[in-house]
Structure 1
Amino acid sequence: MTLDDFRREIADPAIEFRPELRWWLAEGLHTDATLRREIDDAHRLGFGGMEFLAMDEGAIDHARYGWGAEEWVHDSQVVVEETTRRGMSVSFTSGTNWSNANLPTIDPDQRAAAQELDVVHETLAAGQSRSGALPRIDLDAPIAETTLPGHRGTVRDQHLAAVVAARVSGEGLLDAASLTDLTARVDGETLEWTAPADPEGGEWRLFTYWVHGTGQTASPSASVNYTVNYLDRDGVDAVIAYWDEVVLTPALREQIAQNPRTQMYMDSLELSTYGAGGMFWGFTVADEFRARRGYDIVPWLPFLTRQAPFMAVSTVYDHQPADEGDGVTVDKVRFDYVRTLTDLYIENMLRPFAAFLHEVGMTLRAEISYGLPFELTRPGPEVDGIETESLEFGAQIDAYRLMAGPAHLFGKQYSSETGATTRNHMLDHRFYDQIIATQLAAGITKTVLHGWASPAGAEGVTEWPGHEGMWPMFSERFDTRQPGSQFYPLWTAAIGRLQYALRRGRPRIDVGILRTDHFTDNLIGMALIGPDGERIPDEVAYGTMWMRDRQNHWWQDLGMQDAGITYEFFDGSLLLRDDVSFDGDEVQPSGPGYRALLVYQSTLDADVAAHLLAWARRGLRLVIVDGARELESLLAGRFRTHEVAASTTPGLDGRDDELAAIMTELRGMPGVRVAAPSGVVAALDDLGAGGRARFVDDDPHVLTHLREDAGLAVLYAYHFLYETTEPTTVRIALDGTGSAHRLDPWTGALRPHRGATTAGDRTVIELTLAPGEVAVVVLDRSAAPQDSAASAPVEVARAEVWRLAVESWDAGEPEVLTEDRGLGYETREVRPTTAVTRIDAGEVTLKPWSLLDAVGPDVSGVGEYRASLTVPELAAGARYVLDLGSTGGGLGSVRIGDGPERGFDTAHPVVDVTADLRAGGNDVVVRVSSSLNNRLRARGYYERVPDIGAQLTGEERMQHAIVREYGLLGPVRLLRED
């Protein structure tokens, strides 16, 4: 690609580069007119696609409108038709709590339904005998509440799986040496057995394991839909059959064939078990475990039963070995169990499902492994797009780096569900812009906003500002109810330009970090209760804690980040695949091109170690790090330190000695360095792998991402400490020489970058970034270098006198929409409307609306500010920018005279107005939007909304909303850059 090609295509980025939307539908209740209107609105506002799903709309007729009903099938057809007609992408949504991952064609007693391993136990004194029937699971007993949504339906059948005895050695402790598999001694469902005599007495526990369906179901749906089995092939076969025979009608297939961006999106795997065992299971798990791991899982089952109240990271095992010496062995068995589950999820769900979707013209995008005891990165090659999310990981850069590894290794589209928080309508737009900016720094190049909901919904439950969809407590709304939506076309185009720039060519990542974890903490975004029980606001946590308090989670030393050395994570077994290569210099040169790999965890698979050894003999640069610390659970305050890297294999494979021999050889090789975490940068420099976009001097404020496309290098830089006040100046040395150009995402303009110098065979880019500001610089290596020095801007004029008028938003009269499709009933929905009242505040000093007597603390909407700027003369060749100071985090626009409306970055609202200025007087119009927080607060909205952030940690509280500072805050200055 040439620079001219880049300039032409980024000016008006194609629809596939625009941000997309998660769209919450009120089941199948919406009229066709509403569906078409919403899609048309989304398209008009610049969004590139819709991912749609049915949300529970309360007391409506689910049999008529729920997922799977005729109305839902009809609405799905309308959605696909309308998005396809506009060139938008469309995604069906599959997830445990979205019903269509569940099926009406199965019940919990069938093999296709999700299964769990449950347990009941008896206690016997040493020498005591028992005989007769084994105790069964009481499937009618009340179940413990789970934090995840959904509930258990009726489960009838249970199948005996195993019987194991163990000597009790204390509260929650078992003697590992005493584990005895008694399954072969069971006659039917009866067992005669005597606990071994013990002169010191003591107790034995007899564990009886039963397999039965989880019975998990979710609403809404036209009938009872049960969760499918993700581990046995029966589950995906049932899903495929249902979609093939029922959902994908000839008319729908015809539409899919016309839309090359039709997807199935698999949301997080919010699967639950309800029994005492707490173990996901399947009818083939035991046999597959034996075949893959080389030993029998049954004797170890007492050490595998667990409780996990919310996601896999919350796992607590019921029993531990009494002898600490057996702890390593038990940990290895536990690893082998979850490794086997990951294998089965890949082979029996993802792989066949993706193959089916490809046959019908769809691709598969997925939040792989989310929430379950699965490894997160190994399933990456099996899907077409890898998705993460901002909520569960708290929008932390280390979490985004975790999923970036497989995405970049295998050339997968890397996307993120963006904008879900425990707030609703509260936070300024800047908050969400900063999440997007963080994601881009990790290589995420597809933003799926969470989300969009039509204002229209069911009668009796829909109030202003509109139908919520994803409840009124768990997301933001990026739809037309937002005052800022009138500026979305400018905003979505800017995001589209950034995403276009960062999809060009190949990602260039300096270091690949091997990391394996089946219980990765994905509850970081819920860690919002302080040490004294205080509720930490989302905006405080995201803006000042965790990564913004210099606390990354999985690779905690910040030396590489501060030096501009980029890195990401992946399971080491991915290196064993035939489609991953090492060319003697880079790992996966057609992808991320890692210049070095890093090993730091105490466990490493022996086959992976042997692979590293073979590559090291060919020149692989490898850093082995001893003493690294990483997060296990933020909520629990639990960390682990890996004293010696790769000191044992993770599973019970008997290969520890083999691994030790390999690591001894590796540690002595010339291309390998052994270091403490703080010594990694020096080790990389010593190996000649010190970074392709290396900071000349360390900078703790900036994150970068680098792409290469033929002769172009695209550098993204982001000042991520957005709640600080000081700008930072960073100098970044890029490989190669050429001409440097700075992108304006809001206009698409590329201008020569002031602050690029040649240093030998490298180009040094100097950037001064305000807190929260992003910059994209394109280095054209096919052109001659054009060195230039950065110069400080000069203030030319300042607007002091402003007139303000505010469009104040509040509830209007609702509309009733009806539809009669000739099926013997009428569909009715209510669409709340917004009443806009104009407040003329007259001449004002720039300060928050809440402090202006004419506006006050209860107003939300859009403010229009008018002033005049006098410019005596315009310097030829100079660039003029209007610096707005602050807009309270609100989206908006600037117009000079008769020029066009121009958008601005909410963190750094500076607008290039060179083309619009005239010598003499210039009329200036600045429009700034707010969220709905202040108006909803005044209406008592939040007094009825539970605080989900507190609720998930056991606290029953309502949301607490404070008055937010809206408006143009200034100072507004016209600056000249020579």
Structure 2
Amino acid sequence: MAEGVTEEHHEQPAAEAENREPTKTEEKVLPVIQPFDEAEFRDPDVRYRPLRMIHDNLHTGKIKQLKDMGYGGMVTNVAYQGYLKTEEYWEILKQNIQYAVDQLGLRVWIYDERGYPSGTAGGLVLKERPDLEAQGLAVIAKAASGGKKLEIAHPKGHGSVISVKAFKGSENSYDPGSAVDLMPFTDEAGNLLWDVPEGSWIVYYFVQKPFYEGTHAVNNWYEQRRYINLLEKEAAETFINVTHKQYYERLKEYFGKGIEAFFTDEPSLMGTYIGPSPRQPAVLDAPDPDVPLLPTLGWGNQLAEEFKQRRGYDLIPSLPYLKAGDSKEAQAVRMDYYQTLSELVEEHYFQPLENFCSESGVACSGHLLLEEDLFYQAIFEGNLFAFYKHMQMPGIDLLTAFPETAKKWAVTTAKMASSAAHYYRKEHVMSEISNAFDTEETSFDGRLGAIAVQFAFGVDHFNSYYEDDKMSQEENRLFTDYIGRIAYMLDGGKQASKIAVYYPIEGVWAKTLPAMSMDPKDFAPEAVAISNNFRDVAMNLVENQLDFDYLDTGALLESGIKGGKLVTDAGWAFDTVVIPRTSVLEAGLLKKLEQLADAGVHIVMQGESPAFIRRDKKMEPAPELLQTLLRSPAVIQVKEPKGIAGQLKPLLEADLVLDQVHPEIIYLKKQKEEGITYLIVNTADSPSSLKAQFNVSAAKARLWDPLTGKAADLPVKAKDGRTEAQLSLKGRQSVLVTFEQT
């Protein structure tokens, strides 16, 4: 989220003397930094420090101030006034970047939009191509009785009627074979008038519309502005031509040599209606209050054709299944529909961004809208794990300064991004941070604790919306040093997770129906239940100090089996696979699970068994097909998420074992050639004293405090083939423990 951005006049102070004749940027060779160096830990290199996100009114004086406060640089853009069109502001941006990079040695990211959500170039894309606006397919479902007239008026602000059909029965129970095409009963304006035959009928009226009123494009914190359609390939192409190519042409000497990445912010399919923003946005495109807000699906100009090409059948006759029904046919169509949306977003938005950034020598990064819950992911984007393949640096946002809240959100968001980074060989994971979603203020140690939580879940790069002018010079320096110190200590090496957790997005797709608000109560109950259960499984593992990675269906199918483990191409090896509650499994995945079980990989089947196995686009009842898998001695069935850790602990060689239950403690282990680093985080407000056994044997152990920058020898003793130490953490405190061979 572009938190805190405002529409302000851009005033540029005179350039400082050293900025009038900037030196030519040269290829920078990063110095080799030795791990576990106490001097480097006290004052980390600029590469480890957070970037400050500043969109307007940036000048050399401010940049120098950021440097003095310990920031690693900034995420910025050409001024919002006269966006992308004013030469004066392009020149100011170039001067700022020259000064930051050449004079101060700072790092720069480019924010790719005028506010957010990304994709419109401040409205320029749709000004050039209005046909590329986000589209929805609104649906009116009406019951009708024989002997009466049924009227449905074409809703204001909507476009072409796509399909009108009547079926005998009710919305949740009708006879597909009784379909009557009612398009001949619509007039040129799209109004329906039908003399209803005898019996009870349900009528579905589908009409295309611009997906604008009531959506995130209207109710965000920046500006009410019509949005592009991520399903249209030309939308992202036009966006890149208007935005990214201009930055490259004007600043190409700094791409990959100071400018590190583009940041794309909360692109989405609009999905559903979002309540009014707590901040009054500016208005570029005034929404029409008279346009009715109807249940709406994501749609595109070529979606029906794309669907038929990819899925092998015509979607239009099956549209009612997207609105209601729980039959196997309905669930199969919904899986196909949401899979198609996901593929198109991946191919038409994220892949073009990836390609441009790769060709330009910078990373593609940023984050998506509402990453926290799977039932939101289904309607706003699709398969996030697959999207992260196209970010050289996968990213999230986490807008809280409460560590306990951060744990609840980041266990899905940060863990998903870092898991995809591991699988797709990405070196870093980014988070946009602030406390924008907190309803009350927390203490300074709260924001540090929330950042440590994200480190523990795999984030290692932070872009900050925390307002530096609301912190003292000392607080800013402590904030930036703290982040830099942990990032330095965790740099390089490999995480040691042994558990793979399946990402059941297909099961959510099968159950997803159009929602009328952001309230989970408006979503299909089973989709919400699968999503909530998924989080509960993850929380049970992390609160029992069991590390894991998420893998989607594709990643599980692509991975190999070696030495009784599931092994990915990137070299990650898992001896356990957890299948959380889901409504459906792909037949190929079921076969892979059977092979894994035969090889001795532990398979945890949690929750009620899925009802269906999808094979060749058809749903088959699951019970009989699951019997071979469930009979395997390698398979463990666990009903509730809270029972998983207890089943797994006796089977695993855990990397961290505590003396008693400590749900407040989370950790990350990184293995390097030079030694091993553990990050230990207390997410609770109260102190925690614990006896910890580390799965290492080493002669030298040290305790590092990222708050003070100090390191000290840590007394340890050998116990049961492990190394044991006593640790005492204050509320919201984090420490690092290193083990080095001598």
The interval holding the TM-score normalised by the smaller chain is 0.7 to 0.9
Determine whether 1:359 maps to 2:331: no
User: What CA distance in whole angstroms lies between the structure 2 residues aligned with 1:552 and 1:122?
Assistant: 34
8 Å Cα contact 1:599-1:624 kept in structure 2: yes
Residue 657 of structure 2 is matched in structure 1 by 694
Residue 596 of structure 2 is matched in structure 1 by 615
Deviation at 1:382, TM superposition (A): 1.6
Residue 488 of structure 2 is matched in structure 1 by 500
Deviation at 1:168, TM superposition (A): 5.8
Determine whether 1:710 maps to 2:730: no
**CA distance 1:652–1:287, shift in 2 (3 Å):** farther
Task: Provide the secondary structure at the position in 1 that maps to 2:430.
Answer: strand
Task: Provide the secondary structure at the position in 1 that maps to 2:422.
Answer: helix
Residue 255 of structure 1 is matched in structure 2 by 254
AA matched with 1:699 = H
| TM-score normalised over the length of structure 2 | 0.76
Q: How does 1:101-250 map to 2 (within 5 A)?
A: 101-103=119-121, 104-107=124-127, 110-119=130-139, 125-126=145-146, 136-139=154-157, 158-167=159-168, 169=170, 173=172, 175=174, 177=176, 180=179, 182=181, 197-198=197-198, 201-210=199-208, 212=210, 214=212, 226-243=226-243, 247-248=246-247, 250=249
AA matched with 1:83 = A
Structure 2 gaps, min length 5: 1-31, 273-290, 371-375, 513-517, 520-531
**CA distance 1:163–1:597, shift in 2 (3 Å):** same
User: What CA distance in whole angstroms lies between the structure 2 residues aligned with 1:181 and 1:380?
Assistant: 43
AA matched with 2:662 = D
Deviations 1:677-698 (A, max 9, x none): 4543343245x32422233443
Q: How does 1:453-602 map to 2 (within 5 A)?
A: 477=467, 479-482=468-471, 484-517=472-505, 554-555=535-536, 560-577=541-558, 584-585=564-565, 587-588=567-568, 590=570, 593-602=573-582
**CA distance 1:374–1:71, shift in 2 (3 Å):** farther
**CA distance 1:224–1:743, shift in 2 (3 Å):** closer
User: What CA distance in whole angstroms lies between the structure 1 residues aligned with 2:708 and 2:572?
Assistant: 29
Deviations 1:209-254 (A, max 9, x none): 235564886799xx99742221121211212222365x23633222
Deviation at 1:345, TM superposition (A): 0.8
Residue 43 of structure 1 is matched in structure 2 by 67
Residue 14 of structure 2 is matched in structure 1 by none
User: What CA distance in whole angstroms lies between the structure 2 residues aligned with 1:369 and 1:732?
Assistant: 39
Deviation at 1:617, TM superposition (A): 3.0
8 Å Cα contact 2:614-2:620 kept in structure 1: no
Task: Provide the secondary structure at the position in 2 that maps to 1:166.
Answer: strand
Q: How does 1:614-653 map to 2 (within 5 A)?
A: 614-626=595-607, 643-644=608-609, 646-649=610-613, 653=617
8 Å Cα contact 1:162-1:210 kept in structure 2: no
Deviations 1:525-575 (A, max 9, x none): x99xxxxxxxxxxxxxxxxxxxxxxx9971258654454212343433332
Deviation at 1:704, TM superposition (A): 1.1
User: What CA distance in whole angstroms lies between the structure 2 residues aligned with 1:571 and 1:503?
Assistant: 26
Residue 654 of structure 1 is matched in structure 2 by 618
8 Å Cα contact 2:167-2:174 kept in structure 1: yes
User: What CA distance in whole angstroms lies between the structure 2 residues aligned with 1:186 and 1:617?
Assistant: 59
Residue 380 of structure 1 is matched in structure 2 by 388
User: What CA distance in whole angstroms lies between the structure 2 residues aligned with 1:210 and 1:594?
Assistant: 46
Q: How does 1:734-753 map to 2 (within 5 A)?
A: 734-746=695-707, 748-753=709-714
| TM-score normalised over the length of structure 1 | 0.59
Determine whether 1:405 maps to 2:419: yes
Deviation at 1:498, TM superposition (A): 0.5
Deviation at 1:604, TM superposition (A): 2.2
Determine whether 1:84 maps to 2:101: yes
Deviation at 1:255, TM superposition (A): 2.7
User: What CA distance in whole angstroms lies between the structure 2 residues aligned with 1:381 and 1:269?
Assistant: 17
8 Å Cα contact 1:369-1:379 kept in structure 2: no
AA matched with 2:395 = E
Residue 429 of structure 1 is matched in structure 2 by 444
User: What CA distance in whole angstroms lies between the structure 2 residues aligned with 1:490 and 1:391?
Assistant: 20
Residue 692 of structure 2 is matched in structure 1 by 731
**CA distance 1:278–1:744, shift in 2 (3 Å):** same
User: What CA distance in whole angstroms lies between the structure 2 residues aligned with 1:96 and 1:165?
Assistant: 45
User: What CA distance in whole angstroms lies between the structure 2 residues aligned with 1:53 and 1:248?
Assistant: 9
8 Å Cα contact 1:515-1:601 kept in structure 2: no
Task: Provide the secondary structure at the position in 1 that maps to 2:535.
Answer: coil
8 Å Cα contact 1:17-1:48 kept in structure 2: yes
The CA RMSD over aligned residues, in Å, is 4.1
Determine whether 1:680 maps to 2:695: no
AA matched with 2:303 = V
Deviations 1:700-755 (A, max 9, x none): 33111111112411111112112x2x43223223144442121232464543211x
Residue 976 of structure 1 is matched in structure 2 by none
User: What CA distance in whole angstroms lies between the structure 2 residues aligned with 1:254 and 1:43?
Assistant: 22
Structure 1 gaps, min length 5: 57-61, 141-157, 306-319, 452-476, 521-525, 528-550, 627-642, 784-978
Deviations 1:919-966 (A, max 9, x none): xxxxxxxxxxxxxxxxxxxxxxxxxxxxxxxxxxxxxxxxxxxxxxxx
**CA distance 1:712–1:89, shift in 2 (3 Å):** same
| Aligned residues between the structures | 648
Determine whether 1:73 maps to 2:73: no
User: What CA distance in whole angstroms lies between the structure 2 residues aligned with 1:410 and 1:706?
Assistant: 20
Task: Provide the secondary structure at the position in 1 that maps to 2:536.
Answer: coil
Determine whether 1:449 maps to 2:467: no
Task: Provide the secondary structure at the position in 2 that maps to 1:258.
Answer: coil
8 Å Cα contact 1:108-1:214 kept in structure 2: no
8 Å Cα contact 1:744-1:750 kept in structure 2: yes
Task: Provide the secondary structure at the position in 2 that maps to 1:265.
Answer: strand
Deviation at 1:582, TM superposition (A): 5.5
**CA distance 1:234–1:752, shift in 2 (3 Å):** same
User: What CA distance in whole angstroms lies between the structure 2 residues aligned with 1:562 and 1:575?
Assistant: 25
**CA distance 1:82–1:181, shift in 2 (3 Å):** farther
Residue 731 of structure 2 is matched in structure 1 by 771
User: What CA distance in whole angstroms lies between the structure 2 residues aligned with 1:515 and 1:587?
Assistant: 17
User: What CA distance in whole angstroms lies between the structure 2 residues aligned with 1:224 and 1:74?
Assistant: 28
Deviation at 1:590, TM superposition (A): 4.6
User: What CA distance in whole angstroms lies between the structure 1 residues aligned with 2:618 and 2:125?
Assistant: 44
Deviation at 1:111, TM superposition (A): 4.0
- The partner residue of 1:606 within 587, 590, 594 is 587
User: What CA distance in whole angstroms lies between the structure 1 residues aligned with 2:218 and 2:90?
Assistant: 18
User: What CA distance in whole angstroms lies between the structure 2 residues aligned with 1:696 and 1:99?
Assistant: 47
**CA distance 1:123–1:720, shift in 2 (3 Å):** closer
AA matched with 1:758 = A
User: What CA distance in whole angstroms lies between the structure 1 residues aligned with 2:186 and 2:555?
Assistant: 45
Task: Provide the secondary structure at the position in 2 that maps to 1:261.
Answer: strand
User: What CA distance in whole angstroms lies between the structure 1 residues aligned with 2:87 and 2:211?
Assistant: 28
8 Å Cα contact 1:369-1:375 kept in structure 2: no
**CA distance 1:423–1:159, shift in 2 (3 Å):** same
Q: How does 1:48-67 map to 2 (within 5 A)?
A: 48-52=72-76, 65-66=82-83
Deviation at 1:505, TM superposition (A): 0.6
Deviates more, 1:559-568 or 1:699-708: 559-568
**CA distance 1:122–1:777, shift in 2 (3 Å):** closer
